[in-house]
Amino acid sequence: MNTYFNIYAKSIFELLSPIIGELMAKGAIRSQCNKLGISEEMIQKKDMATISEGIGKAMMLFIGTEGAKQLVEKIKKI
């Protein structure tokens, strides 16, 4: 279940969870936020490019390079 109140975290979660499941989606978001020194509820528009690139690198293992590139672009448009 999605427990995010932050619109950016919620939107990323909604993109990732059908692909890698809810638990891994939350973990991916948390991991990228930890690298930025923020919580998931603190994500701002300015953080989206960095977060999307980090998630894209990790997602290459699951959906390949082209799929990861498409996902990065979707996240950047949020």
Kindly indicate the confidence band of residue 3, based on its pLDDT and cuts at 50, 70 and 90: confident
Domain ranges of the chain: 7-76
- Distance, in Å, from the CA atom of 69 to the CA atom of 23, rounded to the nearest integer, reads 22
Q: Is the pTM of this model over 0.85?
A: yes
Q: Residue 75 contacts by C-beta under 8 Å, 6 or more apart in sequence?
A: 11, 12, 15, 48, 51, 52, 55, 56
pLDDT in tens, 7-61: 999 999 999 999 999 999 999 999 999 999 999 999 999 999 999 999 999 999 8
Helix (H) or strand (E) holding 70: helix 48-76
Between helix 48-76 and helix 7-20 the angle, nearest 10°, is: 60
